[in-house]
Structure 1
Amino acid sequence: MATVILVRHGRTTANASGVLAGRTAGVRLDEVGRSQADRTGDRLAVAPLVGLVTSPLERCRQTSKAILGRRDGEQDVPITVERGITECDYGEWQGRKLAELAKEDLWKVVQTQPSAAAFPGGESLQAMQARAVAAIRRHDAAFEAEHGPGAVWVAVSHGDIIKSILADALGMHLDLFQRISVNPASVSIVRYGSSRPDVVATNTDAGDLSWLRAKPPAEDAQVGGGAGHEAPSPPRS
């Protein structure tokens, strides 16, 4: 089974000022966000990536560029822009202060029953999850078909998008997805097996990822927990 590394974009000017950016054009990483993206790029530099898929929004493109910019110059990783993992269409909520939105009746629905939440003039959280999960699974199957079950690839997207993908992989109802945290530039890892998805990591912002070079484990869950990751082979000089 292939391995998808889900990366949220680094912190933006909108994140720092408490504004719901949505799909607003021109929202870029701030200084902290650029540093976060570089840090994630350093973590992923050891991963044998066969491809990178990114949301079309600028903050994700910046994060993707930072990730690939930390790699060896000989490691050519193709980039694909995928609208299926772009930010949720928040409609009339887009561009407004989160502090103001928290006073809206819909806010409580988003917090407690996301499956019933539809943003005025935008999309529902159910529709967001459906198109994001479909896009990730489609690319995952394509990478595995082309590169084999050891394929490792990256998807750079947004907080609510990644939370909804993780909820699906965990078998959680969408109404529970607010229990998942996905911080700026964090790394989460999922493997889609023939029997079930395997959620390997969620919301990590530190730690060695060289084990991604090792042979992927068998698809069957290890009763008792298993022996963990195999020691990876050293990178070629």
Structure 2
Amino acid sequence: MSTSDKRLFAKFTLDFPTNPKIAGLSDAAFRALVEAVCYSRQHLTDGFIPSAVARKMWGDAVLAELRTNHPDRPSLTEDDGGFRIHDYASHQLTAADIRSLQERGRKGGQAKAEARRLAPASDRPELRVGNGTASALQSQESEMTMASFPESSHYPTARDATDGIDAMTARLAGQQGITDLGAVISAADSHVDRRLDASGALRLSLHILGKAASTPTNALPYVLRSIERSPAEVQQFIDKELIAL
């Protein structure tokens, strides 16, 4: 799996289709079980599927098949208000697992920011988002072209990160001079260890632009450079606003 692929994944062993209790399922039941795992992974329900969702997506006959495909360990069991996937936590990441990984990422980002803060003055960027040195940053970004960042190897995942950005969000961003939200997403991922979606990238960009001493000439390079030079402040905003995925 590419490290630049930010989609969520569910895990299935190679012998999953030939497992005795799976091999005998109808095509509809097999598809329903896979979709149930993907649903739970996406919505972090730890293997629980609400009854209304399950019945609408797969119907009673398929659900009955998945509840009876093994005498002791059927693929689905009825739970309060829905159905639960058997042994889900043994194979998939749970909500607790995700929170633990996010906390590790948060601490890692804090450690990086602290290391930068303690670095010798000659190695430490002097610019901070929204402080008195913003004008110096603007003078630097005014010399950059808008094309210098999105296609740069400095943000190699910018094009991949653009996938799935809706037209409305892209249009709102473009009106503010943020012509490539994918580049903002990649910059946050690279320098702050935070994963954003398009909406979060737009909110972060507007926050950075709003703190500038005056309107930057080239908005996108200004935002990208601000993220790179002020990761601690950017991380604080992302965590405070709960916009990280």
Higher helix share: 2
Higher strand share: 1
TM-score (norm 2): 0.24
Larger Rg: 2
The one of the two structures with greater contact order (alpha-carbon pairs below 8 A, sep at least 6) is 1
TM-score (norm 1): 0.24
